[in-house]
Amino acid sequence: MGWVENQSVLITGGASGLGRAIARRFRKEGAHVGILDRSEKAIAEFTAEFGSTAVTVAGDVRDFSAHQRAVDAMVSRFGKLDTFIGNAGIWDFGVSLVDLPVEATDRAFDEVFGINVRGCLLGAKAAVPALVRSGGSIIFTVSNAGFYAAGGGPLYTASKHAVVGLVRQLAHELAPAVRVNGVAPGAIPTELRGPASLGMADESLSSLPVEDIIARSLPIPGVVQPDGYAGHYVLLASRDNARNTTGTIINCDGGFNVRGLLSPSGGAELSRRFKEA
């Protein structure tokens, strides 16, 4: 018997990458799964793997009505919603403040925060009534950038710090009816995309030398595939194993927080770059 046997679990951004790995693990543990995703192609691939028993809803996480449709579909199909996982996200590919094009900054900010933060907030808003009825939980995908600098640029890093704040505030507001926690993975070689507003919609994290970066900077080297993180979500969703756990973020980043300092700052070249002639 799995830790989340017969739970009804909704995952945003669940059609590919980490989201699909989470769905796969919950299914293995005996849960009923559903996803909200904006990619019709990825949803078709998800359906080919999971079959018609899984709920699939196409929509943008920045749209409250999309979340409501997904929650309603889960309750209609499975009679309840036990866990909402706010996982959809985009990365800014580490674009620094000084390299952000002024003309695109507003749009990029709205896009990154809209998906990474607003998407979590709206999903929680739509899911709370059903979760109160089931005594369920919310889990947000954070990132090591929610705790440390240089896990992205200022847009991504600030957005993930905001998700940390959401975990803590909603854990307070919704206790004791609904538990709220997070999982903060390290770098994952997935098709995580960049902001369209910065011309990065077709770029993915998997295009970067993630393994080399990890080998140089982490006490525990080696690339962890998406399914290596999925068990943390199952643990936090489990009523038997995490019933008194709320406001907690599992930081699974290869021991980044215990490493030695490799570089004191990231702006050493700015004086040279902007030195007056």
Model pLDDT, residue 205: 55
Query: Burial code of 190-210, b = ≥16 C-beta within 10 A, e = fewer?
Result: bebbbbebbebeebbbeeeeb
How, if at all, do strands 32-37 and 55-58 pair? parallel
Q: From the candidates 148, 156, 229, 233, which is the catalytic residue? A: 156
Using 50, 70 and 90 to split pLDDT, how confident is the model at 101? very high
Is 3.40.50.720 the CATH number for 8-252? yes
Who wins on pLDDT, 224 or 4? Answer: 4
Alpha carbons 231 and 21: distance in angstroms, whole number: 10
As a whole-number percent, the residues of the chain with pLDDT over 70 amount to: 85
Q: What is the mean pLDDT of residues 91-119?
A: 95
What are the pLDDT digits (tens) for 63-97?
Answer: 999 999 999 999 999 999 999 999 999 999 889 99
pTM of this prediction?
Answer: 0.89
Q: Is 156 a catalytic residue?
A: yes
Alpha carbons 226 and 229: distance in angstroms, whole number: 6
Region of residue 254 (phi > 0: left; psi between -120 and 50: alpha; otherwise: beta): left
Q: Where are the domains of the chain?
A: 8-252
What angle is formed at CA 113 by the lines to CA 44 and CA 21, rounded to 5 degrees? 35
